[in-house]
Structure 1
Amino acid sequence: MSFFVEFVRSPLTVGAVAPSGPALAAEVTAPVPRTGSPVVVELGPGTGSFTAAIQRRLAGDGRHIALEINPRFAERLAGLHPKVDVVTADAADLGTVLAERGLEQADVVVSGLPWAAFAEGQERDVLSAVAAALPPDGVFTTFAYVHTRWAPPARRLLGSLRGRFDEVIISRTIWGNLPPALVYHCRRPNT
């Protein structure tokens, strides 16, 4: 199964023609602590570009839960990363998934979701779930492609992030990704 085939099958849930590259994965996962036992939630892991980077940062510690709506991606991801709790679920169901595991919050939420394909209500529901799942010192990271930054869905996402978080820091351009991307590091959720 190729990433491109899944994109053709369902472009609104896959959202890209190729997986994210290592440079983007490193920037998106930078807030994942290398020490302690953090709870890290990954939304829309796809084929696992960010998953592998999170696992390297956790080095066997903490808890890593991945919510993937595409059952083929979820099955493949579970096989490749047996230490990851892979759940076939919508990202908006984050609170339910955490509660089912006896967890109230996550320390870090990392997103690989295709925001440009989301309707406004879907975006609102996911960001509400993320903000509710984070403690005051929690971090949410997501990304956008540089070439779409000024398109209405990307501007809406940035506005939504700024409305949900006290601090939104935009990374430098990740030129090593295809296509080039920016990462949003969001802190101090406004719940």
Structure 2
Amino acid sequence: MTGELVREAPFESFKSRVKRRLGPWGVFLEGFLRNPVMVGSIVPSSRFTINKMLSRVNWDECKLFVEYGPGVGTFCRPVLSRLRRDGMLIVIDTNPMFIDYLNATIADSRFVAVLGSAADVEAIVRAHGHDHADYVLSGLPFSTLPDGVGPAIASATHRVLRPGGAFLVYQFTSRARAFMARHFARIDNAMEFINVPPCFLYWGWKEEA
């Protein structure tokens, strides 16, 4: 046993040095390698994807923005830079490594990182003092999620959104649209080619009351 610990120690030390050298990308890479089904991509989204995805948000009316699968915060900082002073950003991830990293690197009173499932978004939103969300963003790979999880997330998202709010989804296949179409009658779409890989962008709008 002692010999195993001695052999593992240099490897752990090497891995820590690599992570420090690579910074956020190193954390993101490790998260992908540990759970590729939930992370979906080995490379964070480009700034072009971020800007295009967030361009349709009415920030003046956004009090609560929710993100599923924030990773190392690629979208978190751009969202916070646009979010009103009395707004809140709740991010939800099943990976404790990402949650710990975000809590250690984002110091903003409007930011809340929750370890949990996106399917529980309604309970999470209520637990933080809100009745609904204005916008929900997701980069979760719907096509590779376990059976039933994708539809459950889409359904819960539609319920938690306010009328006129939107579900913002970026994916590397077009299959996510089918999950969204069961609940959102209006879905706008676009492509962003300056991304690795190029991705599909969707905005599913909840009907007005």
Q: TM-score, normalised by structure 1?
A: 0.88
What's 1:184 paired with? Answer: 202
The answer to whether the 8 A contact 2:68-2:140 is kept is: yes
Greater mean alpha carbon deviation, residues 178-187 or residues 20-29: 20-29
Q: Is 1:17 equivalent to 2:17 in the alignment? A: no
Q: Please report the RMSD computed on the Cα atoms of aligned residues, expressed in angstroms.
A: 1.7
Question: Using the alignment, how far apart are the partners of 2:59 and 2:94 within structure 1?
Answer: 28
What's 2:12 paired with? Answer: none
What's 2:153 paired with? Answer: 126
Question: Using the alignment, how far apart are the partners of 2:207 and 2:186 within structure 1?
Answer: 8
User: Residue 71 of structure 1: CA displacement?
Assistant: 0.5
Greater mean alpha carbon deviation, residues 2-11 or residues 25-34: 25-34
Change (3 A) 1:177 1:47: same
Secondary structure (helix, strand or coil) at the match of 2:100 reads helix
Question: Using the alignment, how far apart are the partners of 1:87 and 1:177 within structure 2?
Answer: 27
Identity among equivalent positions (%) equals 28
Question: Using the alignment, how far apart are the partners of 1:126 and 1:81 within structure 2?
Answer: 26
Q: Which amino acid aligns with 1:126?
A: I
What's 1:159 paired with? Answer: 178
User: Residue 100 of structure 1: CA displacement?
Assistant: 0.9
Q: TM-score, normalised by structure 2?
A: 0.80
Q: Which has the higher contact order (CA 8 A, sep 6+)?
A: 1
The answer to whether the 8 A contact 2:62-2:84 is kept is: no
Query: How many residues end up aligned between the 2 structures?
Result: 181
The answer to whether the 8 A contact 1:109-1:139 is kept is: yes
1:87-102 → structure 2 map (5 Å cutoff): 87-102=114-129
Secondary structure (helix, strand or coil) at the match of 2:140 reads coil
Flag structure 2 segments of 5+ consecutive residues without an equivalent.
1-18, 20-25
Q: Which amino acid aligns with 2:195?
A: N
Q: Which amino acid aligns with 2:179?
A: S
User: Residue 30 of structure 1: CA displacement?
Assistant: 2.2
The answer to whether the 8 A contact 1:41-1:66 is kept is: yes
Secondary structure (helix, strand or coil) at the match of 1:159 reads helix
